[in-house]
Amino acid sequence: MKNTFKIRFSVALAAVFGLIGAAYTLNLPNGQPVQAQKMKQGESVKDIKDLHADGILKDMAVGKADAPVTIIEYSSLTCPHCASFHKNVLPELKSKYIDTGKVRYVVREFPLDNLAVAGFMLARCKSDKYNEIVEDLYMNQEAWAFVKDPLEKLKERAKKAGYTDESFNSCLRDQALLDKIVKVREKASTVFKVSSTPTLFVNGKLLRGASHIRQIEELMGDKAK
């Protein structure tokens, strides 16, 4: 059973952040499971090809395109567990497996609140810096996500990636992009049974949370050796 609540959205978050736009209503989770968990840890999705294929938004993958292991992470930029993963696990995964051509790694959007949506929109609006912006927001999460005026702090971080006041506001008014991010999230929930963040798929095998690289290595097996 879905555990959701209604958040007021505008044309690209205008109502939330005081920008100009007409509001509409959308269901998003309140940081809680989206639905009853229907997959067990280590269980494979039914259609790995569908999981690995680009969806409505192109995957911003890092690593060798034909690496023997593909890891997909569904995450939310305001999720502390996701930030912990990016700080404490991903660097080792990158040095041991991504940089050596053994793993292709993808971050996909699964925002749990409006602020996470805004962060992902800013990453998408500068697609050439997508992973750089995502990593910066995770590395500095406490400095912008959990402060009195998060939008202003988010803007400060965005300016480090080349945004101006005008381009920042323009990006957050991109209704088409907002709709696509929401659809990525909806497919993750309904098709791939993502119910929390971070959720990883290691060659299609489910891993909810990842506090240590050994959990990932167990699912990779011999394919990354």
What pLDDT score does 211 carry?
A: 87
- Which DSSP state fits 44? B
**Domain locations in the chain as residue ranges:** 36-224
Q: Give the domain 36-224 fold.
A: Glutaredoxin (3.40.30)
123: left (phi > 0), else alpha (psi -120 to 50), else beta?
alpha
Helix, strand or coil for residue 104? strand
- Compute the mean pLDDT over every residue in the chain, rounded to the nearest whole number: 86
* Over residues 152-181, mean pLDDT: 96
Return d(Cα 158, Cα 168) in angstroms, integer.
Answer: 7
What pLDDT score does 31 carry?
A: 39
127-146 pLDDT, tens digit per residue, is 999 999 999 999 999 999 99
Is the per-residue pLDDT at 25 higher than 90? no
Q: What is the CA radius of gyration of the chain?
A: 17
CA angle, 67 then 119 then 202, to 5°: 25
Q: What is the dihedral of CA 175, 52, 31, 4, to 10 degrees?
A: 70
- Lookup: tokens for 43: 């269980």
Return d(Cα 27, Cα 189) in angstroms, integer.
Answer: 13
What pLDDT score does 40 carry?
A: 81
Q: Is the peptide bond before 29 cis (omega within 30 degrees of 0)?
A: no
Higher-pLDDT residue of 201 and 23 is: 201
* Over residues 96-102, mean pLDDT: 97
